[in-house]
Amino acid sequence: MFKRKKKAQKNTDGNQSYWAYVARQFKKNKRALFSLYFVIFLAIIALFADFIANEKPIICKYEGKTYMPVLKQYAVGLGLAKWPEAFKNGGWKEKEYDFAIWPIIPYLPNNLDYDAQWASPTGRQICACECTSVLDDECVESNKCGNNKLADCNKASSCTLKVIKKTPNWKEGMAEDEVIKYCKKQEYSIWRHWLGTDDIGRDVAAGMIHGTRIAFMVGIIAMGIACIIGIFLGACAGYFGDTGLELSRGSLFINIFAFFIAFFYAFYSRSYIMSDAFGVSFGKAIWAFFIGILIFLAIMAIANIIALPLNKIPFLGKKVAFPVDIAITRIIEVINSIPLLVLILAIVAIAKPSIFLVMAVIGTVRWTGIARFIRAELLRVRRLEYVEAANALGFSQMRTMFRHAIPNSLSPVFIAVAFGIASAILIESFLSFLGLGVPAETITWGKMLAISRTNASAWWFAIFPGLAIFITVTLFNLIGEGLTDALDPRLKQ
């Protein structure tokens, strides 16, 4: 008993040492290691975007009670709690708090700030002051005050100023010079738009932070879908080859027949249910699709049970090989034959804009690379002794494949995923740059970059979002390179 346990321990040690070796190799590559840390940092930003850029205070004391609005926002979003009366109508910044800690960027990407249109990161950009016409009508008539901005007001010396936006430190009845002083101070306070704004005063910094979340989501979900499809199909192609999957004639016939029946009941007769669900929300559509897959699998399973007695008949029981490899490589070839971007553009063009659809489309198109990697790996692995041993022990083919063969062939998939995330992020930003596929209210890096085309003097739109895309893509590419070097067996000596 003891001995066996020890042996098992040793075995996992051996298993770990391969990954320990890979980790060691990876750590040697300073650029890749740095990129990994940077990506983790960005992932943390993406995860805590609501705490970094938000219109609500993180903690505030209002009318004697302490609230944590950002945390509460999640509870409200999940339907677990309701906003108290005081906060129901928003207006977070107009309230007079006893005490408040604001996020580093006190804006949401969709918040409009009409006092700061096209505010430049380097220029003057205040905001909370406005001309009044009480003292000097001439000032307003001659329109010296321009857009009611402090910058213009200072030139028109005869104007009086008043603060209209109540920010936490401002008090009623401030003298004029005090107001100006306060405004100047405030210009470099947390209310400043550090990276500028667009034509309707949306904060660029907030958009950058929340854009990180979307970019990461696109990369991870798209590659997640690609991995599921790619690993499964690639593994089937590699493991079974053209001769590995033997079916009796009866099963083959029934499977082909059942495929159509299952398709009919799972998807065709439910097509209206699914399209209605898609009209409601993407989550509902996924759920309807998932139920469809369950029905499909159930019918296929029933068909295979029916096939069992049929196989006793000599003619139907004779085994034939199903050319899995040919079938799957053909599918890969079909998808690879259409230029990726053209295909994605064409699909996105006919569907309703949705960020999840973009993820799903990228995922369902980008799996071929992963499938090819894992196919090549399994073609090699299936000849190894331990797979033969597993077969000799009488394990089912599925078990051998999923429990023994696939876990040992996953390393090239990591490389493909790292590069894949980079290209998924690139494709998504490209699509939103063109204004395709992503709904209007979602702020992404690509969309912000596109704003620079409408106003060339707003250089901050040309630089910051593009830089974010570039850095993220480069980091994932560097990690991919590092993994390639670390996993490459040729470097093992």
Partner 1 sequence: MFKYILKRVLIFIPTLLVISVMVFLLNMYAPGDPVYNIAGIDPNSSKPLTPEAYNAIRGELGLDLPVFYFTMSSIAYPDTLYRIPKKEHKATLGRLINDHGNWEEIREYHRSIEALESRVLEIPRDSLNPKALIKIKEKVRGLYRIHEDIKIQKSLESMEKPIASAPSTSILQPFLEDTRTKYQTMVNNPTKWKTKVPTLNWYGFKNQYHRWFSRFVQFDFGKSYQSKRPISEEIGERIFWTMLISFISIILTYVIAIPLGVFSARKKDTLADSTVTTILFILYSLPSFWVATLLIVFLCQPEYVDWFPPYGIGDPAPDAGFFETFRIRAYHLILPLFCWTYASLAFLSRQMRGGMLSVLRQDYVRTARAKGVDERKVIWKHSIRNSLLPVITLFGNIFPLMISGSIVIEILFSLPGMGQYLYQAIVAQNFPVVSTIVMMAALLTMIGYLVVDILYAVVDPRITFD
Q: Which residues lie near partner 1 (CB under 8 A)?
A: 260-261, 263-265, 268-269, 272, 330, 333-334, 336-339, 341-343, 345-347, 349-350, 422, 426, 429-430, 433-434, 436, 449, 452-453, 456-457, 459, 462-463, 466, 469-470, 473-474, 477
Do 106 and 93 contact (CB within 8 A), yes or no? yes
293, HSE (Cβ side, Cα atoms, 13 Å) = 5
Distance CA 274, CA 284 (A): 8
Question: Which token pair is 228?
Answer: 């599921």
Closest separation between CB of residue 213 and partner 1, Å? Answer: 19
In the complex, the smallest distance separating the C-beta of residue 474 from partner 1, rounded to whole angstroms, is 4
Give the Cβ contact number of residue 194 at 10 Å. Answer: 17
Residue 248, beta-bridge partner list? 319
Amino acid at 141: E
Find the shortest distance in angstroms from Cβ 345 to partner 1.
Answer: 6
Question: Considering only CA atoms, which of 7, 439, 413 is closest in space to residue 231?
Answer: 413
Q: Which residues pair with 65 in a beta bridge?
A: 62
Entry field: residues in the chain: 493
Task: Give the nearest distance from C-beta 433 to partner 1 in angstroms.
Answer: 5
- Token pair for 45: 């930003």
> Encoding tokens for residue 317?
């029981």
Smallest gap from residue 254 Cβ to partner 1 (A): 16
Return the number of the residue (44 or 346) whose C-beta is nearest partner 1: 346
Q: Where are the alpha helices (DSSP H) in 78-175?
A: 137-141, 150-155
CB of 263 to partner 1, least distance (A): 8
Residue 72 CB, shortest distance to partner 1, in Å, is: 38
In angstroms, give the least distance from the CB of 148 to partner 1. Answer: 25
Q: Cβ closer to partner 1: 135 or 326?
A: 326
Nearest residue to 151 via CA among 116, 117, 182, 126: 126
Return the number of other C-beta atoms located less than 10 Å from residue 25's C-beta. Answer: 18
Residues 6+ positions from 252 with CB-CB distance below 8 Å: 320, 322
CB of 271 to partner 1, least distance (A): 8
- Between 153 and 348, name the residue whose CB sits nearer to partner 1: 348
Shorter beta-carbon distance to partner 1: residue 246 or 333: 333
Nearer to partner 1, 98 or 488 (CB): 488
* 129-132 and 99-101 strand pairing: unpaired
186/477 with CB nearer partner 1: 477
- Nearest one of 412, 420, 435 to 485, comparing CA atoms: 412
**What's the one-letter identity of residue 424?**
A
Least distance between partner 1 and beta carbon 291 (Å): 16
Residue 218 neighbours by CB under 8 Å, 6+ apart: 355, 358, 359, 362, 424, 425, 428
Report the alpha-carbon distance of residue 102 to residue 52 in Å, rounded: 9
Least Cβ distance, residue 36 to partner 1 (angstroms): 16
For residue 352, what is the DSSP state?
P
**422/443 with CB nearer partner 1:** 422
Q: Which is nearer to partner 1, 140 or 343 (CB)?
A: 343
The nearer residue to partner 1, 259 or 402, going by C-beta atoms, is 259
Find out whether 133 and 140 touch, Cβ atoms under 8 Å: yes
Beta-carbon-side half-sphere exposure of residue 181 (alpha carbons within 13 Å): 6
User: By C-beta, is 80 or 349 nearer to partner 1?
Assistant: 349
Nearer to partner 1, 133 or 454 (CB): 454
Closest CB 294 distance from partner 1, rounded Å: 17
Nearer to partner 1, 56 or 447 (CB): 447
State how far the Cα of 286 lies from the Cα of 273, in Å rounded to an integer. 12
Within 8 A by CB and 6+ apart from 354, the residues are 282, 437, 439
Question: Cα Rg for the chain, rounded, in angstroms?
Answer: 30
For the bound state, the minimum distance from the C-beta of residue 349 to partner 1, rounded and expressed in Å, comes to 4
Q: What single-letter amino acid sits at 41? A: F
- Rank residues 47 and 341 by Cβ distance to partner 1 and give the closer one: 341
Burial class (CB in 10 A: 0-12, 13-18, 19+), 291: middle
